[in-house]
Structure 1
């Protein structure tokens, strides 16, 4: 399994560096396919994303591409939501073993499908159209943060992709700042979640280390290739993988 984890980490890291899409939407189902316990897969994913998003956060901090005011508005709702989501996750895990794992897998599957649909929406609808129609939702930012934060706590999926769509749709933020703001907010969520999961022994450190061995050079290489390769085809491939993974998990 060691080779599979290093190679999987490299591919996932490369796709993240190349497109900015992926993260938990790829890693959590990957760990489930390898037979990991769903709660451990989610906990390991949170810690993995804490490391990778911290690297991205430091880059955007230096570039001054983070809107901290928006991060704060989202965090008012998403931080309580992440706590609620993790509580629900652990309550589900107290059910009979077979039932709990099936429920959690189905939940992750549905969120993966939702994430793929929202990512397609982000790619196909003009941002100007979205802003004109949805800008009135800005006052609901904390509520939106709470709802999505809850789902992130339960599945580890959506801390970047779903919140990124919300930023692109509702706020008049430069494209360069959408990514930075999204990563800064996601870092808060995954860092808090990681601490909780570490405290509940829901992290497999051996898997984590092997994933990071592969993903760190993967992110670096992917970031370099992003300036030389067309990104859209790779995004479409990732969306297909995410959607297929979601369908597989709910079968």
Structure 2
């Protein structure tokens, strides 16, 4: 195992812990630009990395906070898992006939990073408005119980959620980016009455099966470096823990715009390659 990979995992883990931004938007560009990995290998390795590191977070949200809406997770997965598998089959087909997929993966990665950068900025605005407009309290009641499952699209809520899941399935499988920041913003838009902690828990719970299926698919295609994966995990797991402790002491209003700007520059570089 390489000390450089372990240190990289530690640094990315710190940033993930402090900012809450998914590791894919940080780790994949790092592996491509700093260490020279093929985009397909960087994406495949990062997908399994994400599936493993997110598992403990879901356990906390489910057991301690009860902040996972499993119905919404199911609807998202109904769209994302089949489309992730379909995307993997398309990649496998192109590999079988000898066509290069690096260009498509690189371009998709750039688009995903640009969308993530925008999502970071939009998320702050949405959360700010949400805090200023809390759910209405029923009269003659001391308990506030908002109907969190009520969506923006009423009768079309389930199809809309499945559609969002399908888009995330394709995007995450091709780029390893989007399950975190984009998924959170999508849920904030789809379910405006849902508490923020439940948005985060639900998005996290959906990301695990999606990244696991996509990561195992890339593993079967030979797009995962297991030695690299082990090194990144050794560094990132303590990094996420330390970053989570530091998050309360570092102002989010400063970090998020800086991080969004960096992701936007990296995304433009990928798109314009």
TM > 0.5: yes
- Contact (CA 8 Å) 1:109, 1:248: kept in 2 or not? yes
Residue 218 of structure 1: aligned partner: 239
Counterparts of 1:113 and 1:27 in 2: how far apart (Å)? 15
Counterparts of 2:254 and 2:3 in 1: how far apart (Å)? 27
The answer to whether residue 155 in structure 2 is matched with residue 154 in structure 1 is no
Residue 68 of structure 2: aligned partner: 66
Q: How far apart are residue 43 of structure 1 and its match?
A: 0.9
Q: How far apart are residue 235 of structure 1 and its match?
A: 1.9
Residue 142 of structure 1: aligned partner: 162
Counterparts of 1:122 and 1:105 in 2: how far apart (Å)? 25
Name whichever structure is richer in helix by fraction: 1
Please, which runs of 5 or more residues in structure 1 have no aligned partner? none
Residue 58 of structure 2: aligned partner: 57
After TM superposition, where is structure 1 displaced by more than 6 Å over at least 4 residues in a row? 128-131
CA RMSD after TM alignment = 2.4
Residues 151-160 or 79-88, more deviating: 79-88
Residue 199 of structure 1: aligned partner: 220
Counterparts of 1:187 and 1:14 in 2: how far apart (Å)? 20
Residue 102 of structure 2: aligned partner: 101
Structure 1 residues 129 and 155: alpha-carbon distance in aligned structure 2, compared to 1, 3 A threshold: farther
Q: How far apart are residue 202 of structure 1 and its match?
A: 1.7
Counterparts of 1:102 and 1:168 in 2: how far apart (Å)? 32
1:102-142 deviations in Å (ceiling 9; x for gaps) = 332122111211221122122224348999xx812634111
Q: How far apart are residue 95 of structure 1 and its match?
A: 7.1
Residue 113 of structure 2: aligned partner: 112
- Contact (CA 8 Å) 2:172, 2:179: kept in 1 or not? yes
Residue 78 of structure 1: aligned partner: 80
Larger radius of gyration between Structure 1 and Structure 2: 2
1:62-121 deviations in Å (ceiling 9; x for gaps) = 221111111111111111111122233344556767x53233212211121122112212
Residue 147 of structure 2: aligned partner: none
Q: How many aligned positions are there?
A: 249
- Contact (CA 8 Å) 2:92, 2:221: kept in 1 or not? no
- Contact (CA 8 Å) 1:75, 1:145: kept in 2 or not? yes
Counterparts of 1:42 and 1:164 in 2: how far apart (Å)? 20
Residue 13 of structure 1: aligned partner: 13
The answer to whether residue 190 in structure 2 is matched with residue 170 in structure 1 is yes
SS state at 2:26 partner: helix
Counterparts of 2:207 and 2:198 in 1: how far apart (Å)? 14
SS state at 1:135 partner: coil
Residues 190-199 or 47-56, more deviating: 190-199
Please, which runs of 5 or more residues in structure 2 have no aligned partner? 135-150
Counterparts of 1:83 and 1:127 in 2: how far apart (Å)? 35
SS state at 2:101 partner: helix
Residue 121 of structure 1: aligned partner: 122
TM-score (norm 2): 0.83
